[in-house]
Homo-oligomer: A and B are copies of this chain.
């Protein structure tokens, strides 16, 4: 009855989603401050109309929208997290349909935020609404926090969670802000990588030099940068910073077994990226490296002359941005400490280094013994009519470790996106079938958790 209600009201659902998507809720852009407020108010009003007593809660920057339904006495309480802010839509000329106009084409919805995360959070709202409009109640209690700062690193969220511990008390967190394994392959996530991010600035001579007049006698910061960073990974694709792997939790044998049996493998990754060969750490499959092994990527390099043609300059400066994806039990600050100490150790004479730390994030690992994980897996199987996988993911969702740290909650990571959904790019999309399968799955999840 709840599921058929979803079907019957699908057109109304799309009309509402279209309205929600139309707000240009771009959190990074100061001139969109009023739009952010309007979006939050619309969302709070929507929650209220659904029966969730929506309210807008101020933070230092963009508000959190809160709503709850607490009538299932003795049943689990779910803390559902989502975010209503989106990435800027630029470059606009690459969009095939307007960024803030929900458009259906080739089986996909297209719009900024449709996957990340307005469309995915809407799945939860409509599942809740279907219960309330048919049965007048939910099988579980729900609390929703829908933030407006995810795309700018959630600066207000830690303080918000800490200040509202009692309000947010729950049994488990639920987040849909990530991809499934692939089309027709629903998945429940139990692990995410963390992040450590640094900038390395090398200074040599006090100005650019003529390479003829000084080359060979004066240390070149661009040479030094390549030599230093080039030495950070060895010929086995292992990171060569002393102690780097000390706190890396090994893959459990059953995880490696699961990975072997996955319906996607090296071919999938080669085709998705267009490379003729992958470059995993020796001894590990590509997907093991993405899920459960730390990685190091230089994200940017800048030095000297970058225009057309030749210029024989010995540059005064060179800089790199580099980051590490971390796995349990690595700590971002400890990794940056080790990196900085190692770089200082290998810094050549005649070069000075400035080491800049950017915001990092802890890796997250959900307790797999929590029976709710298996319940969620079964709920997604029911919702999609396909086998559902328990997976780790290579990306970072800082709120997952925050939920654990501040509220002591495990998280059910129920992503309904796809790996190639253009989350931060033009033509962001969400497979229509995943949107519908997601709503069915959440309906099943509430029912199953309510019966536990």
Contacts and interface: CB of A to CB of B under 8 A. Distances in A.
Interface in A200-242: 204-207, 209-220, 222-223, 225-231, 233
Interface stretch (A11-19, A36-44, A289-297): A289-297
A212 B359 contact: no
A350 interface: yes
A311 interface: yes
Interface string A176-199: 000100000000000001010101
A311 B299 contact: yes
A452 interface: no
B310 A323 contact: yes
A163 B39 CA distance: 76
A375 interface: no
Contacts of A350: 275-279
Contacts of A213: 179, 290, 393-395, 419
Copies of this chain, whole number: 2
Given A301-B306, A312-B396, 17 more contacts: A197-B310, A209-B273, A214-B273, A214-B290, A214-B394, A216-B289, A217-B279, A218-B273, A218-B278, A219-B277, A225-B301, A230-B230, A279-B350, A299-B304, A310-B358, A310-B359, A312-B323
A336 B279 CA distance: 28
A51 to B, nearest CB: 37
Given A211-B325, A226-B226, A278-B218, A206 B273 contact: yes
A451 interface: no
Contact of A211 (B228, B302, B310, B323): B323
Contacts of A371: none
A283 to B, nearest CB: 13
A286 interface: yes
Contacts of A231: 227, 230
Contacts of A228: 230
A298 interface: yes
A281 interface: yes
21 contacts: A193-B212, A210-B424, A213-B393, A213-B394, A214-B269, A217-B278, A219-B279, A220-B297, A222-B320, A223-B229, A225-B226, A227-B233, A228-B230, A229-B230, A230-B230, A275-B350, A279-B348, A298-B304, A299-B304, A302-B306, A304-B321
Nearest to A419: B213
A30 interface: no
A232 to B, nearest CB: 8
Interface in A76-101: none
Q: How large is the interface on A (under 10, 10 to 19, 20 to 34, 35 or more residues)?
A: 35 or more
A280 interface: yes
A412 interface: no
For A273, A305, A423, the residue with the greatest tally of chain B CB atoms inside 10 Å of its CB is A273
A359 B218 CA distance: 24
A226 B229 CA distance: 6
A104 B131 CA distance: 88
Given A305-B300, A349-B277, A223 B233 contact: yes
For A299, A304, A318, the residue with the greatest tally of chain B CB atoms inside 10 Å of its CB is A299
B206 A309 contact: no
B299 A305 contact: yes
Contacts of A318: 298, 301
Contacts of A222: 297-301, 320
Contact of A313 (B299, B312, B349, B358): B299
B393 A217 contact: no
Contacts of A226: 225-227, 229-230, 298, 301, 320
Nearest to A209: B273
A303 interface: yes
Nearest to A269: B217
Given A205-B274, A225-B226, A216 B299 contact: no
A104 to B, nearest CB: 24
A115 to B, nearest CB: 13
Nearest to A239: B216
Contact of A395 (B210, B278, B302): B210
A242 to B, nearest CB: 18
A222 to B, nearest CB: 4
A117 to B, nearest CB: 15
